[in-house]
Every structure is written in C-alpha cells, then in structure tokens.
A and B are shown apart, each in its own frame.
Chain A
Amino acid sequence: MLKIQNLHARIEAEPEGEILKGLDLHVRPGEVHAIMGPNGSGKSTLAYILAGRDGYEVTEGSVLMDGDDLLEMEPDERAAAGLFLAFQYPVEIPGVANMYFLRTALNAVRKARGEPEVDAASFMRMLREHAERVGVRPDLLKRDVNTGFSGGEKKRNEILQMSVLQPRFAILDETDSGLDIDALRTVADGVNALRGADRGIVVITHYQRLLEYIVPDQVHVLVDGRIVRSGDSSLAKELEATGYAGDTAPAPAA
C-alpha cells in the first residue's frame, strides 16, 4: 500500500546536503514496520516528506500510496486519502478548541471522501469513547489544541486524533519520546487497536522500548539516509544490545 523507491531528498534551504539518499520501503496492507536509526539519519525528514511539509525537495525517486503518486498531493489531499502523521512535536494552536479541531478534521476528511459529515451530538459520543480509551482527560477536549498540554498529553492527543480519523496509513514519528511507561502502554494500545488487515503503520523510534508493546512485522535500520538493514522484530532487540555502531552507511553506488 505504501511503496517508496530510491527516494532522494534535501532541505530546500540547504541544497548541498542530501538527507535521504536512495531510500526504499514497501509496506503491505496489515503490516507494521518500525524504522530505527541514530539521530540525524533522516527519520523525521522521511515522516515530513510523506505528510507533505513544505521546505523539502525530492530530487529523485517515487512514493506511491495505493498506486497514487503521493508526492503530487497537497497535505490535506494526503489526509483525505487516508494518510496520518503523529507528530514528534505536536503544534500548539491557541484560540482553536481541541474538540472543534477534531470534528473539523474528521468532517474535512469525510467530505473529501464523499462521506456524510458527522453531527455534533454523535461526534461528541464517539469522541468521549475514544478519549477515554487513549487516556485523554475530558477537560483537554475543551481546551485549545495542545495549548498548555504536557509532553505526554500532547502525544496522547495525537493518538486520539489518529483513533478518531481512522487513517488507512499511519506514521508515528517518535511518539514514544518523553513518555512514561503508563503513557507508552496507552499509546501502544491505541496503535494496536488500529492494526488491521487493510491498514499500514510505520513506527519511527529511537528506542526499542515501544516495540515491546507494538510488535512490528519488520524492523529497518536507517543510517545516513538509507535503509542499511532489515529484519523481523528480533532485530530491534539486537540493536538495543549493540547500538547502531555496526551499521555504517554503505559506499555510494558507483
């Protein structure tokens, strides 16, 4: 369902330094993939490029989602097509109530898909259920989006959005960073609840910890803009023991 081939990308403002240097990844429906790697290896860049953030330039390669060229789509079109990015640093939006934001997001996506909008009353019922499941306190629904939320509350709020929007394909960018063990479990439960035969999930993480709760089908090691090693979930445990020291970037192809 997601097919990345030979992806090369750089930051527009820094045309000299390529960050992704020929990345390949193929996620089939029903699969959970983990991408691990040291700081600066290009993990977050990959997440932003998939979600369509401005400021990055793809110089080579392709990204197909369900056969469609993802890179040609606007960020909101990607969301409508079922893509979801859980942000590493969720943005605070003062002046916009969380509840309203969630419903607007859901209805925007539904509208784009030609589905009827959800009315306020049924939305509230659904939202309360989801919020309880992912451990978001009711008062946080009334507050402005992420404004004054703790780090953990912001991450839970991302999982809540994911749970409400029910994306076809989700990318979690270091959702585990800064979480205590209880929050980590709740986040993992939220992700596991989303696992299904026609969904794909990519979990980007620094540590193996989260992968004890979300057991991936495949683990990839990203170093210097390329995937240098892939394996099953045991690879994550191995990396936890040895670190990334053994995984150096391969010599550029001649």
Chain B
Amino acid sequence: MPIRHFDPAPGYAELFQAMRGALPGPADLRQESFERFAELGFPNLRAEAWKYTNLKPVAELAPSAPRPASLTVQDVADVFIGGDDVHRLVFVNGHLAKDLSSPVPVPAGLSITTLAEGLAVDPALLAEPQTDRALTALNAALAEGGAVIEVAAGTDVQPLVQLVFVTVGDGTTLTNVRNRVVLGAGARLRMAETHLAIGDGGVANIVNTITVGEGGSLDVDKLELGVGTSTLLAHTRARLARQARFSKTTVCVGGGLVRNETHAHLDGSEADLHLNGVYAPAAGEHVDTAIRVDHRAPNCESNQFYKGILAAGGHGVFAGKIFVDQVAQQTNAYQQNDNLMLARDAELDTKPELEIYADDVKCSHGATVGELDEASLFYLRSRGLDQAKARSLLTFAFAGEIIEKLVHEDSQHQARRALLGRLPGGHDLMELV
C-alpha cells in the first residue's frame, strides 16, 4: 500500500516536549492528540484531498515555539474592522495581546473568553471535532490561543466581533489556534476573522468549530493577508441545526502556502449555507480551497461561489464536494468556481465533486477558466487607460461580485485595498476602495 503521509520532522516532538508543561487543559488529551498526530503524519500528495498541495515543507520544518511578540497598535490597526463598539481580540503568535484588543464590555447574552478560560469550563473542547485529520490532532496537542464565543438563545448581537491572528517571526514559528463559536437557537452574530503575517510570518494551524442553533444566523468575513513566506492552514467545521444560517466570505490576498478547508454539516432541515471566496495567489504563492458540504436533512440550501485570480507563477486549487444523504430530499446545492488567468505560467486545479443519494434534489456545479476579455481591454485602452491600468481595473472588477458579499463595509475596503495593492498600477486605482 502506498504511503500517504510525510513523517513529521523530529522538531515536532521536541516542540511538544518543550511546550507541554505550560499548555492549558487536560494533559492526557494533549498527549493522546500528539501521539495521534505522530502516527498519522502530514498527508502527502497521494492523499486525494492533498493531491495539489504539498505539505512537505511543513513536515520538514524545525518548528519554533510561538512566543509572544510586542506589537503596537500601529502595526495592526490597518486590519481593524468597525468602530469603538467592536469586540476585538488580537492574538499575536497565539497569545492574546490585551493592549491591542478592545476592552468593550460585552452585552448580555454574549460571552467571549480565551481558549484557556474555555478549557477550564469544558476540558473536552479540544476533543472536538472527532476526526482523523492530522492537522486537527496537531492543533489539539499544541493549541494555546484562541477564542470561545457563545451567544445565548434569542440574542441578536449588534456589534461586530473581530478576531485578529497575527503571526510574527522568521517563518518557522508554529502557532496553533483553536476557536469555538456556538450560537443558541435564534441567536445572531456577525464576525470578522483576520489573519495577518508580519515579517516572515510563520506557520499558523487554525481549527474553528462552529455550531449554529435552530433559526440562528452567523456571518463571517474572513480576510487572509499573508506574505510569501507565511503558511496558513485553516480548518472550519460547522454544524447547522434546523433553519440555521451560516454565511462565510473568504478573501485571500497573500500567503506562501494557504489551505482553506471548510466542512459544513447541514444537520437540520431548511438550513441555509453560503460559502464565498476570492483567492489571488501571486508568484510563488499557493492557495488551496477545500470544501465539503454534507446535506443530512431535507429542504436545505447550500451555495459555494469562489473566484480565483491567478498571477504569473501563482497556483490556485479549488476542490468542492457536495454530499447529499438519502434523507436530504428537496436539497438545493450549488457550486460555482470562476478563474481568471493573468499569465501563461499561472496554474489552477479545480475539481467539483457531487455525491448524491437522494432522488429529489437540485444540484449544480460549474467551473470556468479564462483570460481577460480582449474587447473590454481595448475599450478601456481606447479611452486612455494604459495596458497595466486597464488590466488591473478589469481584474479588480472580476472580484467585485465576491467582495460585495463581505458583510462589513470595512472588510470590503480592506479586501479591495489589499487586492489593488498587488495588481500592477493598482495604486492609481485606490479610490475604487
């Protein structure tokens, strides 16, 4: 049988030994999780879900411990979303930076605590989700930071909650972050999740578990602002009860290696799921979007809408799976992945997958790969826009449809600024932000 994993470099066991004494939560669970991770190893290219994304550089890393780093507000203020009423937690290399976070008192019905505080209440927090995913096991072994957010039934949280995760380092820092978001029945919450790399960044291994109770509603704006040397491995596991709604829009503009995994379970009938995203890898960058949507109840709807902008030397991957259980009649499940190739040597791998066991469903998928439209380019140039500006304007417009889905205006501004910032001549177009 072919080997489907890379053995982790010895540095991982050394790091665990060095860190274990100071980790919050049950020590035996940490030990079991690390053993599980060591046994599984990092998936290699033979593992179908990792066919196009090579974790070898991560497996071979000599990881260094995530130390707190002192940053000033000026270092991170550009990624802040919303005004004074926002509940913002800023984590630097997984450690809560209190001086960068906002001390706003939380309204009744909303609870925001750190992972360590959360583990004191519920030691089983790290045991979820049940999975044989190696990166989740590694996360369960080493996670120090993260947020536990709970919204009581019937609470409509007006202010935004923003989580900011900063990695600062020489590229070898390994940060494991664990977040849990639980919305009670009829609860509503809007969140922003920002990942920022400063300096050479590091490796961030993030696991989010989300539960939306009956009739609850959760919106997440996710911005990923990495650098060419940073790695972001993000996994979100979401469960939706009856009539629950979950909408997430991910904008990835930067990161040497980025893997965005979302696994959503539509457990209750009439649940509504929206996953949107833009990825724009530049030269040497790799962004992989891996989605699995499980329809396990009737009358649910799921939408996946992703756009890729592939610059010269950039590599994008999109793999979206829709699974429809036999009981999930009257399912509406849609997936669309449109890609714009800006250069001959850009690379994209896109793979839709449908597995349907119910007979009364509407499912569709579509994937397109194209270049900028010559007629549109000529039209813009005939009006005086030079080649670079005309191309950048059309590229920017291509992403617009997704960026508009970010729920907070500031998220949209930041996404537009970040995208224009990496397009040739984009600085001349900044007033579009």
Contacts and interface: CB of A to CB of B under 8 A. Distances in A.
Contact of A75 (B382, B400, B431): B382
B87 to A, nearest CB: 33
A12 interface: no
Counting chain B CB atoms within 10 Å of each CB, the highest count among A55, A74, A96 belongs to A96
Given A54-B374, A76-B387, A104-B393, A93 B382 contact: no
Given A95-B396, A96-B397, A79 B384 contact: yes
Nearest to A75: B381
Contacts, number: 80
Interface band, chain B: 20 to 34
B382 A85 contact: yes
The majority secondary structure among interface residues of chain A is helix
Given A95-B398, A96-B393, A100-B432, A74 B381 contact: yes
Given A54-B374, A90-B379, A95 B385 contact: no
Contacts of A112: 384
Nearest to A81: B384
A11 interface: no
Given A74-B381, A79-B381, A93 B394 contact: yes
Interface string B412-425: 00000000000000
Contacts of A54: 374, 378
A93 B385 contact: no
Interface in A73-92: 74-76, 78-80, 84-85, 87, 90-91
Contacts of A55: 374
A74 B382 CA distance: 9
The majority secondary structure among interface residues of chain B is helix
A225 interface: no
B384 A80 contact: yes
A94 B378 contact: no
A76 B375 CA distance: 14
B383 A53 contact: no
B396 A76 contact: no
Contacts of B381: 52, 74-76, 79
Interface of A: 51-55, 74-76, 78-80, 84-85, 87, 90-91, 93-96, 100-101, 104-106, 108-109, 112, 120, 161, 165
Given A90-B379, A95-B396, A165-B383, 10 more contacts: A52-B381, A53-B378, A74-B381, A87-B379, A94-B397, A104-B393, A105-B380, A106-B384, A108-B389, A120-B431
10 contacts: A52-B378, A52-B382, A91-B379, A95-B396, A95-B397, A104-B393, A105-B380, A105-B384, A161-B383, A165-B384
